[in-house]
């Protein structure tokens, strides 16, 4: 078999078969023992703070609420990943092109369990959590006998924290859940009514850990599971995919605020009209003899007359005849009436170029082709997504790019299938879980979509 490693399932335990014919249980191998980062600062909490003063998620929430393209990108990508929802299948083989030959399974017990746990909704929540926050916090509950997984639920990560690593093992052994985490309100770690401390299944070894606990007759019924993106030097909380575009997110949220402030606080003036007293002297020989009040009335009347001509749609393309006179002092010809157009600070397109660039930078950070959301890839404005082919091909590529999120979501079902006996129920059929997706096609195929997995 050269260097190929074949992974198989036998009695819910994993084995590795090597070319020399030996068989070894992966669970028998020693775990990696990594040192734990030294904490020189005083520990205010039992949990690891998320950012400075434990405030990062609260700050990110405000950014996300104000940035429609970020929230839409996260939501759209989650929906593409989940497709029509997770489905149990048998893998009957693999064809010459490496494609799995699948047979969909209709099992009432599996279907009922997925329905009772709102699996479709939980799967979308998990992908949203990974994209928006960089990690997923999930809880499972065993049944009353402590033998099977009865419930699972994806939590809002803003309300969750990871416990500090055990200095001896380097493992995170507990997570914490509290609604107060999302408000910034201080929490007394001893107040069990405000915070829940949850045993965490070993990250990446959840099946072995839970099986051992069940065999030992654990009295604990609730456990947490975490999935994390790339840590890239972080000890606990990864940065989410969109974080490199954080400044663009801030800008995208501020542009609408600036527009609203300008509209609420600025006076929109289109023209400045200047009327020289010389105009009235030239048009009315008696003007010099008028009282101050009568001169003011003449000025206001003329100003209204000019304003009425310039205002509204009826003022379009009209001309104003103006007089001028020679000023002997300046030796120049001077206008008696001057109309100056004022630049409109709220004119259409102001800041839209910056907004469009920001939107694309955010989508690129999320690994989303802007064409999927109706924006062209390059250029200054958001319109012009291109042809239907552009959108279709971008969507197909996006499905392929979502495999990491799909594999993450399948882990909970792979855990449940062993603990709940589904894998043992179908030992020869290699029970797996896959996501059916509708794939866009060209109209010459006779339809706009076709099913695919």
pLDDT in tens, 10-39: 333 343 444 455 555 555 666 777 777 776
Q: For residue 123, how many other CB atoms are within 10 A of its CB?
A: 26
- Range scoring the smallest mean pLDDT among 9-13, 302-306, 382-386: 9-13
Percent of residues, the chain, with pLDDT higher than 70: 75
Q: What is the mean pLDDT of residues 228-247?
A: 90
Residue 324 has a pLDDT of 73
d(CA 453, CA 442): 18
Nearest C-alpha neighbor of 276 from the set 293, 304, 292, 295:
295
Q: Which residue has the higher pLDDT, 7 or 58?
A: 58
- Range scoring the smallest mean pLDDT among 96-100, 232-236, 261-265: 261-265
Written in H, E and C, the secondary structure of the chain is CCCCCEEEEECCEEEEECCCCCEEEHHHCCCCCCCCCCCCCCCCCCECCCCHHHCHHHHHHHHHHCCHHHHHHHHHHHHHHHCCCCEEEEEEEECCCCCEEEEECCCHHHHHHHHHCCHHHHHHHHHHHHHHHCEEEEEEEECCCCCCEEEEEECCHHHEEEECECCCCCCECEEEECHHHHCCCCCCCCCCCCCEEEEECCCCCHHHHHHHHHHCCCCCCEEEEEEECCCCCCCCCCCCCCHHHHHHHHHHHHHHHHHHHHHHHCCCCCEEEEECHHHHHHHCCCHHHCCHHHHHHHHHHHHHHHHHHHCCHHHCCCCCCCCEEEECCCCEEEECEEEEECCCCCCCCCCHHHHHHHHHHHHHHCCCCHHHHCCCCCCCCCCCCCCHHHHHHHHHHHHHHCHHHHHHHHHHHHHHHHHCCHHHHCCCCCEEEECCEEEECCHHHCCCEEEEC
Asked if 198 contacts 131 with a C-beta cutoff of 8 angstroms, the reply is no
**Structure tokens that stand for 387 in this block:** 């042809």
Question: Residue 443, exposed/middle/buried by CB under 10 A (0-12, 13-18, 19+)?
Answer: exposed
Nearest C-alpha neighbor of 174 from the set 185, 189, 187:
189
Residue 383 has pLDDT above 60, yes or no: no
pLDDT tens digits, 186-200? 676 667 678 899 999
Residue 211 has a pLDDT of 96
CB environment 307-332: b (16+ within 10 A), e (fewer)? eeebeeeeeeeeeeeeeeeeeeeeee
Residue 441 has a pLDDT of 54
Residue 168 has a pLDDT of 86
Q: What is the mean pLDDT of residues 415-442?
A: 83
**pTM for the whole structure:** 0.71
Nearest C-alpha neighbor of 75 from the set 119, 138, 121:
121
Asked if 437 contacts 399 with a C-beta cutoff of 8 angstroms, the reply is yes
Q: For residue 72, how many other CB atoms are within 10 A of its CB?
A: 15
Length of the chain: 453
Task: Give residues with Cβ within 8 angstroms of 386, minimum separation 6.
Answer: 371, 376, 377
Greatest mean pLDDT range, 173-187, 319-333, 417-431: 417-431
Chain centroid offset of residue 283 CA: 68
* Beta pairing partners, 200: 224
Q: What is the mean pLDDT of residues 373-400?
A: 67
d(CA 354, CA 244): 17
Q: Angle CA(15)–CA(18)–CA(24) in degrees, nearest 5?
A: 35
Q: What is the mean pLDDT of residues 272-298?
A: 86
Give the largest Cα separation in the chain, rounded. 120
Q: Which residue has the higher pLDDT, 116 or 342?
A: 116
């Amino acid at each position: 078999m050269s260097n190929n490693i074949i992974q198989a399932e036998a009695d819910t335990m994993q084995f590795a078969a090597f070319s020399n014919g030996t068989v070894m249980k992966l669970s028998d191998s020693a775990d990696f023992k990594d040192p734990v980062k030294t904490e020189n600062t005083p520990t205010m909490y039992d949990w690891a703070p998320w950012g400075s003063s434990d405030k990062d998620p609260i700050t990110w929430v405000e950014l996300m609420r104000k940035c429609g393209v970020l929230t839409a990108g996260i939501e759209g990508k989650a929906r593409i990943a989940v497709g029509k929802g997770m489905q149990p299948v048998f893998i009957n083989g693999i064809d010459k092109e490496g494609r799995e030959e699948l047979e969909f399974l209709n099992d009432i017990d599996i279907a009922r369990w997925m329905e009772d746990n709102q699996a479709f909704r939980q799967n979308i929540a998990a992908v949203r959590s990974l994209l928006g926050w960089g990690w997923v916090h999930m809880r499972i509950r065993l049944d009353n006998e402590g033998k099977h997984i009865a419930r699972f639920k994806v939590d809002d990560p803003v309300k969750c924290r990871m416990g500090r690593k055990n200095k001896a093992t380097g493992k995170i052994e507990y997570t914490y859940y509290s609604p107060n985490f999302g408000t910034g309100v201080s929490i007394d770690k001893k107040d069990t009514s405000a915070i829940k401390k949850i045993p965490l299944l070993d990250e990446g070894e959840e099946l072995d850990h839970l099986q051992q606990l069940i065999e030992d007759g654990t009295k604990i019924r609730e456990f947490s599971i975490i999935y994390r993106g790339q840590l890239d030097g972080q000890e606990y909380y990864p940065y989410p995919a969109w974080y490199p575009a954080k400044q663009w997110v801030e800008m995208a949220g501020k542009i609408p605020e600036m527009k609203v402030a300008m509209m609420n606080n600025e006076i929109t003036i289109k023209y400045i009209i200047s009327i020289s007293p010389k105009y009235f002297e030239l048009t009315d020989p008696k003007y010099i003899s008028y009282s101050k009040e009568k001169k003011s009335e003449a000025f206001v009347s003329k100003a209204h007359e000019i304003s009425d001509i310039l205002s509204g749609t009826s003022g379009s393309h009209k001309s104003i005849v103006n007089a001028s006179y020679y000023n002997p002092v300046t030796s120049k010809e001077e206008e008696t009436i001057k109309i100056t157009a004022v630049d409109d600070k709220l004119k259409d397109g102001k800041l839209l170029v910056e907004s469009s660039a920001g939107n694309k930078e955010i989508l690129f950070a999320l690994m989303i082709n802007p064409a999927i959301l109706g924006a062209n890839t390059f250029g200054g404005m958001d319109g012009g997504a291109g042809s239907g082919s552009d959108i279709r091909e971008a969507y197909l590529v996006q499905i392929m790019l979502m495999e990491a999120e799909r594999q993450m979501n399948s882990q909970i079902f792979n855990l449940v299938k062993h603990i709940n006996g589904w894998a043992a129920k179908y030992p020869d059929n290699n029970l797996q879980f896959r996501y059916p997706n509708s794939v866009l096609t060209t109209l010459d195929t006779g339809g706009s979509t076709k099913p695919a997995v």
